[in-house]
Amino acid sequence: MKALPAYPSLYQINTRVWLTELSRALGKSATLDDIPDAELDRLADMGFDWIWFLSVWQTGPAAQAISRANPAWRCEFAETLPDLKDEDIAGSGFAIQSYTVHRDLGGAGTCATAAATTRNGADARLCSEPHGPGSRVGRRAPGLLCPW
């Protein structure tokens, strides 16, 4: 893998939206393991050094209940997704219960597979680092202390 440039470029992906679209195309519930190697290669070939997967960490039922119960949010969700169902509302990706890949996205073994293969030698790094208020490398993020 090449050394990162002084100013690396990052491609940020809304993971749940991407996997929902992929699920429709595959006719089954898609996980991170179902992302085609060619798609990751395509992003790397566009010159991106990092491919950032948003909202992959395990969230909990309390965060999901809060998102489902907020009438203003539900209205906004329904504008985006007219056939909105409760199961479409996963809760905030920032209300992290644990820093393991969400079970709906493939669980703990999924990222290990993606990181180990880097998909057919694509010269981009796959990542989803914890971030948000209080989270820094080597420090515990607030979500680890509070089981949302």
- Torsion sign across C-alpha atoms 73, 80, 44, 23: positive
Q: Which pair of structure tokens corresponds to residue 123?
A: 């010269």
Domain boundaries, given as residue ranges, for the chain: 10-130
What are the backbone dihedrals phi and psi of residue 146, each rounded to the nearest 5 degrees, phi first?
-130, 110
Q: Which pair of structure tokens corresponds to residue 147?
A: 């089981």
Cα dihedral: 81, 82, 83, 86 (round 10):
60
pLDDT for 126 equals 55
pTM: 0.70
Residue range 3-18, pLDDT digits in tens? 777 887 888 888 888 9
User: What is the maximum alpha-carbon separation in the chain?
Assistant: 48
More confident residue, 73 or 110: 73
For 75-111, b/e burial (b = at least 16 CB within 10 A) is eebeeeeeeeeeeebbbebbbbbebebbeebbeeebb
Residue range 27-78, pLDDT digits in tens? 999 988 888 878 877 887 888 877 788 888 888 899 899 999 999 999 999 9
